């Protein structure tokens, strides 16, 4: 059974999860790519923002305006409680619709969202909604777990069991290490890479790059940070870069 992200206990444990591997090997390369493409004087939509960890990192990286949206009221409450302003706002949404006009944003991101959406049609609705609210020429970045490295034990998490082959759309257990709690077990949906591409293309996006992120892509989270975690040569995450054609 899929994890219910609107449950308070789920949002509490996800918030307490130490996301240093995601930060170093996923969020930082994503933010660097976004800044390279657009600079910082932009408005960014963070779709499926959770407790706002990535929105806050975007803001800390100098992005002018960040809007986080999520279906879980508890997540939006947590994100807002951690600090919001006119330039860092959080909005609760119904699945697949956002209350913003066409062409509102310069760029959009979604991090670890697809794996939490079990219906293919819903993936398409979300992608179409991002397309609608992006300006022509705007870019959409999807960061997610790499479906090609399930079963690998990473320093802070494991997606799926070793030796099990997951099919497109299968439920897949995920084990997150939460300090002071132990393992937080959730159920994700395994999507193969073509499913991401199909959702993007069906919405009208051009796919610029699909990249399995690994040690070569890492960026330090803060100056003087200790050595990065050893990933044993595996790429834990995948980053899709797509763009909305100019009108």
Ligand X SMILES: C[S@@+](CC[C@H](N)C(=O)[O-])C[C@H]1O[C@@H](n2cnc3c(N)ncnc32)[C@H](O)[C@@H]1O
Q: Which residues bind ligand X (CB under 6 A)?
A: 5, 14, 48-50, 53-54, 70-72, 75, 95, 111-113, 116-117, 122
The distance of closest approach from Cβ of residue 98 to ligand X in the complex, given in angstroms and rounded to an integer, is 9
d(CA 3, CA 77): 19
Closest to ligand X by CB, 29 or 48: 48
Cβ contact 237:25 at 8 Å: yes
Closest to ligand X by CB, 32 or 41: 32
The distance of closest approach from Cβ of residue 69 to ligand X in the complex, given in angstroms and rounded to an integer, is 6
Closest to ligand X by CB, 60 or 206: 60
The distance of closest approach from Cβ of residue 6 to ligand X in the complex, given in angstroms and rounded to an integer, is 7
The distance of closest approach from Cβ of residue 247 to ligand X in the complex, given in angstroms and rounded to an integer, is 27
Neighbour tally for 225: CB within 10 Å: 11
* DSSP-derived 3-state class of residue 26: helix
Closest to ligand X by CB, 49 or 66: 49
Parallel, antiparallel, or unpaired for β 237-243 and 206-213? antiparallel
Neighbour tally for 138: CB within 10 Å: 27
- Helix (H) or strand (E) holding 56, with range, is helix 53-60
Q: Give the burial class of 167: count Cβ atoms within 10 A of its Cβ; 0-12 exposed, 13-18 middle, 19 or more buried.
A: exposed
DSSP 147: G
The distance of closest approach from Cβ of residue 192 to ligand X in the complex, given in angstroms and rounded to an integer, is 19
The distance of closest approach from Cβ of residue 246 to ligand X in the complex, given in angstroms and rounded to an integer, is 28
- Per the listing, tokens 């949404």 go with 93
* DSSP-derived 3-state class of residue 159: strand
Parallel, antiparallel, or unpaired for β 88-92 and 105-111? unpaired
Closest to ligand X by CB, 93 or 231: 93
Provide the CA 23 distance to its chain's centre, in angstroms.
11
What strand order describes the sheet that includes 182-190?
157-159, 170-178, 182-190
The distance of closest approach from Cβ of residue 226 to ligand X in the complex, given in angstroms and rounded to an integer, is 22
Closest to ligand X by CB, 111 or 235: 111
Closest to ligand X by CB, 70 or 106: 70
């Amino acid at each position: 059974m899929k994890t219910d992200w609107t449950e308070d206990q789920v949002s509490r444990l996800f918030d307490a999860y130490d996301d240093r591997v995601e930060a170093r090997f996923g969020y930082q390369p994503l933010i660097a790519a976004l800044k390279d493409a657009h600079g910082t004087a932009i408005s960014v939509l963070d779709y499926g923002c959770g407790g706002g960890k990535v929105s806050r990192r975007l803001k800390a990286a100098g992005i002018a305006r960040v809007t986080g949206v999520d279906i879980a009221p508890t997540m939006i409450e947590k994100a807002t409680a951690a600090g919001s302003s006119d330039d860092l706002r959080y909005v609760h949404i119904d699945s697949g619709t956002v209350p913003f006009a066409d062409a509102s944003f310069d760029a959009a991101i979604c991090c670890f969202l697809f794996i939490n959406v079990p219906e293919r049609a819903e993936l398409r609705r979300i992608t179409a909604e991002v397309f609608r609210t992006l300006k022509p020429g705007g870019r959409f970045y999807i960061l997610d777990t790499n479906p090609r490295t399930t079963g690998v034990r990473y320093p802070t998490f494991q997606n799926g069991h070793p030796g099990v082959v997951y099919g497109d759309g299968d439920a897949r257990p995920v084990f997150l290490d939460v300090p002071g709690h132990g393992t937080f077990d959730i159920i994700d949906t395994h999507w193969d890479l073509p499913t991401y591409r199909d959702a993007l293309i069906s919405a009208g996006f051009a796919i610029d790059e699909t990249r399995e992120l690994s040690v070569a892509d890492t960026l330090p989270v803060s100056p003087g940070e200790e050595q990065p975690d050893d990933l044993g040569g595996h790429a834990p995450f995948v980053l899709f870069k797509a763009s909305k054609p100019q009108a």
